[in-house]
């Protein structure tokens, strides 16, 4: 009882998943979705433009091309991903696109890359945020950055375990603060150099021509392509909306498109504007400071708002909002990552427990795994933003390239009049060429500097997922063969329903979706205790998981399927002249719901004994225990604690 109270204080009161208003109260409108999902993309302006500008070396005049290319690329990718929102309105994004349009194994690669992407979203956002804070702290703080990063990840884990809207609403003022401060700095920074703008284009062209005369046009193109690719982190986060359409308020497709528009406009303006500021204000690297910090310091000083102290305070406010937004962006990893894991669990690539919801209706297992994995990667990389950007960009652009290739295939196959398929095919093809190009350049140029690690991690994850799915497939086939064995059990001739009597001996069967498993238990009890039990009750506690809760109409479908299965068992008993009835419950924790239903049944039928089946594997080890939830053993323990008798019947597979 005390543990439950502590849990409630930290995580909040349980929510009822079966109430329709719960789903609506948690769904995100476009503005909140922009905050919760768009922060990932917008925050990349804190490190993406800097990586681009640094890659130019001394040829900073090329920054003008990068500013334009960055803004244009943002809109190309955003418009292409609008198609993903249309085609897959239940979410899943890159994973669903690859699985449905390219093939399940390409979907597996895309899913693994997405999971790594979201882990790195958390890691890089927290690392960059702490770097921004460290920019106005003494150099002596540098050795403690990693510990600060660990603390902030722990804080975000707790916030997300409380629930999605709570986390976003807490972070909303930070997001708005970033937008306002950076809008003012970018607009002022550009207009302060308005007199230089007319000559910027001709001088850039002249300097580029001069550079080409020394290293050739191929050399200039190579330099631009490398800088463009290294700034690939700027475009990360644009896929977040398509991955999480199921979290959006109805109508989801329209809400998703509006959110994507907000994201594209804000990211194109901010990232392109910051590169332009570097160029106009002649940004130079300063030890212990980000390029944003040193540039903003110069701009604030030129405003003449006060003395050095006032300027320093304003800089601290701007960098604090920048760090805060990066922490909001890290939160996107806790929204998107568990969602991808839940979708992959639905296809049996990862343990099914990643679909389960907590009492706060969040995918608790996914949140914990994402947080722990982010901590591990931060520890391994030492919080190096440069290394994390390489890992991050490769995983993101692998997903982008596969998704956009899937869209190219889709529009090649669906060339119908009135669908504007030519325009959409061209947009998808252009996006694919850009993303595949960036991916190839990054792999070649940065393979030795961390690119190999991304490839190795994704390959290892895919191999493990394949092994998991193979086990689930074999188990499913074994259960199906059991169902087939019992499918031939004939119904009796009795047509009248027989109601159970409360004082009679009662056998209560906890059943699932397998009719064979339920009949196996029923026939076993009749064979072992002939004529002893007069009542036969059937209990089904269905888990309301992320798929049932996220999809429109999925709860109703689950209710119908469960009721149909229970009706089969009751009709079977009635046909053989046996008194029977059924009980159905729904909850986020199947064991808790089973316990509640069994206690209710025991009060009504005091002479009850409970039975259920448990899968027995030839080789029981940590792997099988990881993949199967051991619900039968957990329910038995709970019922024994309540003084109720429960027998587990082995069902070998």
Query: Does one domain contain both 409 and 534?
Result: no
Tell me the pLDDT band of 22, cut-offs 50, 70 and 90. very low
> Do residues 384 and 525 share a domain?
no
Confirm whether 105 is domain-assigned: yes
Give me the pLDDT at residue 87, please.
82
- pLDDT of 357 reads 59
pLDDT digits (tens, 9 = 90+) for 120-160: 888 888 887 787 777 766 666 667 777 888 888 888 887 77
Joined together, the tokens standing for residue 547 give 């798929």
Mean pLDDT of 282-287: 76
Q: What is the CA radius of gyration of the chain?
A: 29
Lowest mean pLDDT among 99-103, 462-466, 542-546: 542-546
As a whole-number percent, the residues of the chain with pLDDT over 90 amount to 4
550 found inside a domain? yes
Same domain, 409 and 494: no
- Tell me which H or E stretch contains 134: helix 104-134
In this structure, are 502 and 433 located in the same domain? Answer: no
Contacts of 293 (CB under 8 A, 6+ apart): 132, 135, 136, 286, 315, 319
Are 444 and 499 found together in one domain?
Answer: no
Across-strand partners of 412? Answer: none
Could you tell me if residue 383 is left (phi over 0), alpha (psi between -120 and 50 degrees) or otherwise beta? left
CA-wise closest residue to 604 among 541, 535, 542, 540: 535
For residues 443 and 97, is the Cβ–Cβ distance under 8 A?
Answer: no
The DSSP result for 338-398, as a single string, is: HHHHHHHHHTTSS-GGGG---TTSS-HHHHHHHHHHHHHHHHHHTT-HHHHHHHHHHHHHH
Q: What distance in Å separates the CA atoms of residue 180 and residue 106, rounded to the nearest whole number?
A: 41
Given this model, what pLDDT does residue 653 score?
61
Instruction: Please state whether the peptide bond connecting residue 443 to the residue before it is cis, i.e. omega within 30 degrees of 0.
Output: no
Q: Over 80: is that where the pLDDT of 90 sits?
A: no
The pTM (predicted TM-score) of the whole model is 0.74
Q: Which helix (H) or strand (E) holds 650?
A: strand 646-652
**Rounded distance between C-alpha atoms, residue 566 and residue 572, angstroms:** 10
Residues 255 and 391 grouped into a single domain: yes
Residue 461 has pLDDT above 90, yes or no: yes
238-255 pLDDT per residue, tens: 777 777 776 677 777 888
Strand partners, 535: 506, 579
Kindly state whether residue 475 falls inside one of the protein's structural domains. Answer: no
Measured CA to CA, the distance from residue 551 to residue 246 in angstroms comes to: 7
Q: Determine, yes or no, domain membership for 570.
A: yes
* 380 falls within a domain: yes
What does DSSP say about strands 535-543 and 506-510: parallel, antiparallel, or unpaired? parallel
- Residue 289 belongs to a domain with what CATH number? 1.20.1740.10
For residue 549, give every residue at least 6 positions away whose Cβ sits within 8 Å of its Cβ, in sequence order, or none: 17, 23, 357, 361, 555
Q: How confident is the model at residue 462 (pLDDT cuts 50, 70, 90)?
A: very high
Q: Which of 641, 653, 630, 543 is nearest to 593 (CA)?
A: 543
Q: What is the pLDDT of residues 417-428, one digit of tens each?
A: 767 788 889 988
- For residue 458, what pLDDT is reported? 92
Task: Encode pLDDT of 634-643 as tens digits.
Answer: 778 888 888 8
Helix (H) and strand (E) counts in the chain: 25, 5
Asked, for residue 463, whether it belongs to a domain, the answer is no
Asked whether residue 651 carries a pLDDT value surpassing 80, the answer given is: no
Same domain, 226 and 129: yes
Q: Which segment of 296-310, 373-387, 534-548 scores lowest on mean pLDDT?
A: 534-548
Q: Are residues 493 and 427 in the same domain?
A: no
Picking from 406, 428, 453, the residue at the C-terminal end of a domain is 453
Q: Are 432 and 401 in contact (CB under 8 A)?
A: yes
Please check whether residue 506 is in contact with residue 535, taking contact to mean a CB–CB distance below 8 angstroms.
yes
Residue 172: inside a domain, yes or no? Answer: yes
In total, how many domains does the chain have? Answer: 2
Q: What mean pLDDT comes out for the span 547-565?
A: 68
Residue 282 is predicted with a pLDDT of 77
**What's the confidence (pLDDT) of residue 554?**
61
Residues 617 and 529 in one domain: yes
> CA–CA separation, 41 vs 55, rounded Å?
21
Distance CA 47, CA 49 (A): 6
65: tokens are: 């091309």
Quick one: average pLDDT of 180-201?
83
pLDDT exceeds cutoff 60 at 450 = yes
Average pLDDT across the chain, whole number: 79
> Which pLDDT value is given to residue 17?
46
The 10s digit of each residue's pLDDT in 30-89 is 667 777 666 777 777 777 788 788 877 777 777 788 888 888 888 888 888 888 888 877
Per-residue pLDDT, averaged over 217-224, amounts to 81
Is pLDDT larger for residue 430 or for residue 90? 430
If you count them, how many residues does the chain have? 653
CA 380 – CA 613 distance, rounded (Å): 44
- State how far the Cα of 367 lies from the Cα of 631, in Å rounded to an integer: 22
Given a cut of 80, whether residue 233 has pLDDT beyond it is no
Q: How confident is the model at residue 1 (pLDDT cuts 50, 70, 90)?
A: very low
376: which residues sit within 8 A by CB, 6+ positions away?
Answer: none
Q: Which two tokens stand for residue 51?
A: 């990586």
Residue 179 has pLDDT above 60, yes or no: yes
Residue 516 structural domain: 489-652
DSSP E strands in 477-572: the ranges are 506-510, 535-543
The reply to whether 499 and 449 lie within a common domain is no
Q: Residue 2 pLDDT more than 60?
A: no
| Predicted confidence (pLDDT) per residue in 513-541, tens digit | 777 778 888 888 888 888 888 899 998 88
Q: Please report which helix (H) or strand (E) contains residue 6, including its range.
A: helix 2-11
Mean pLDDT in residue range 203-211: 82
Is the pLDDT at 362 greater than 90, yes or no? no
Flag whether pLDDT at 603 surpasses 50.
yes
* CATH number (domain holding residue 551): 3.40.50.620
Residues 446 and 524 in one domain: no
In-domain check, residue 461: no
Q: Which of 394, 429, 453 is the last residue of a domain?
A: 453
The upper half-sphere exposure of residue 540, i.e. CA atoms within 13 Å in the direction of its Cβ, equals 25
230: burial class by Cβ within 10 Å (0-12, 13-18, 19+)? buried
**Of the candidates 428, 453, 478, which is a domain's last residue?**
453
- Tell me, yes or no, whether 235 and 298 share the same domain: yes
Residue 607 clears pLDDT 80, i.e. is over it: yes
What per-residue confidence (pLDDT) applies to 29? Answer: 63
């Amino acid at each position: 009882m005390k543990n439950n109270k502590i849990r409630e204080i930290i995580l909040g009161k349980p929510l009822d998943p079966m109430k329709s208003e719960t789903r609506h109260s948690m769904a995100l409108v476009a503005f909140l979705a922009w905050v919760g999902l768009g922060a990932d993309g917008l925050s990349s302006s804190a490190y993406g433009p800097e990586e681009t500008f640094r890659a130019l070396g001394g040829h900073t005049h090329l920054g003008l091309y990068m500013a334009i290319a960055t803004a244009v690329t943002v809109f190309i990718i955003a418009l292409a991903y609008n198609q993903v929102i249309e085609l897959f309105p239940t979410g899943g994004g890159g994973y669903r696109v690859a699985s449905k349009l390219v093939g399940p194994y390409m979907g597996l690669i895309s899913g693994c890359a997405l999971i790594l992407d979201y882990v790195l979203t958390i890691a890089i956002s927290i690392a960059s945020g702490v770097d921004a804070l460290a920019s106005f702290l003494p150099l002596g703080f540098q050795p403690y950055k990693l510990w600060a990063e660990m603390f902030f990840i722990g804080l975000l884990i707790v916030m997300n375990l409380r629930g999605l809207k709570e986390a976003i609403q807490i972070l909303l003022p930070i997001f708005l603060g970033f937008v306002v401060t950076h809008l003012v700095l970018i607009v002022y920074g550009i207009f302060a150099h308005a007199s230089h703008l007319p000559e910027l284009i001709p001088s850039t062209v002249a300097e580029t021509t001069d550079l080409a005369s020394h290293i050739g046009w191929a050399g200039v193109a190579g330099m631009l392509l490398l800088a463009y690719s290294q700034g690939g982190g700027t475009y990360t986060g644009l896929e977040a909306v398509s991955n999480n359409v199921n979290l959006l308020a109805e109508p989801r497709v329209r809400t998703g498109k509006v959110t994507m528009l907000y994201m594209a406009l804000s990211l194109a303006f901010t990232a392109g504007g910051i590169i332009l500021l570097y160029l106009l204000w002649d940004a130079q690297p300063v030890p212990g400071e980000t390029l944003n910090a040193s540039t903003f310091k110069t701009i604030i000083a030129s405003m003449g708002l006060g003395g050095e102290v006032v300027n320093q305070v304003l800089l601290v406010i701007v960098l604090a909002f920048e760090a805060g937004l990066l922490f909001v962006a890290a939160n996107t990893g806790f929204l998107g990552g568990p969602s991808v894991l839940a979708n992959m669990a639905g296809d049996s690539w990862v343990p099914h427990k990643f679909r389960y919801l907590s009492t706060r209706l969040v995918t608790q297992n996914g949140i914990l795994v994402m947080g722990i994995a982010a901590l591990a990667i931060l520890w391994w990389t030492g919080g190096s933003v440069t290394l994390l950007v390489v890992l991050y960009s490769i995983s993101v652009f692998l997903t982008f390239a596969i998704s956009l290739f899937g869209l190219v295939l889709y529009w090649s196959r669906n060339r119908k009049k009135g669908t504007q398929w030519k325009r959409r095919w061209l947009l998808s093809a252009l996006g694919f060429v850009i993303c595949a190009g960036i991916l190839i350049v990054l792999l070649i140029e940065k393979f030795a500097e961390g690119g190999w690690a991304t490839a190795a991690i994704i390959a290892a994850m895919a191999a493990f997922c394949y092994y998991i799915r193979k086990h689930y497939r074999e188990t499913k086939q074994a259960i199906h063969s059991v169902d087939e064995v019992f499918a031939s059990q004939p119904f009796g001739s009795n047509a009248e329903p027989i109601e159970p009597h409360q004082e009679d001996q009662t056998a209560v069967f906890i059943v699932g979706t397998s009719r064979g498993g339920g009949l196996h238990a029923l026939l076993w009890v009749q064979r072992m205790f002939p004529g002893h039990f007069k009542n036969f009750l059937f209990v089904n506690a269905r888990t309301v998981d992320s798929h049932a809760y996220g999809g429109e109409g999925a709860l109703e479908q689950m209710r119908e399927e469960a009721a149909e299965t229970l009706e089969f068992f009751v009709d079977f008993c009635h046909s053989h002249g046996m008194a029977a009835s059924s009980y159905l419950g729904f909850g986020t924790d199947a064991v808790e719901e089973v316990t509640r239903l069994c206690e209710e049944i025991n009060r009504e039928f005091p002479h009850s004994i409970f039975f259920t089946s448990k899968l027995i594997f030839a080789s029981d080890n940590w792997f099988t225990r990881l993949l199967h939830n051991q619900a039968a053993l957990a329910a038995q323990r709970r019922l024994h604690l309540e003084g109720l008798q429960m027998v587990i019947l082995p069902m070998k597979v």
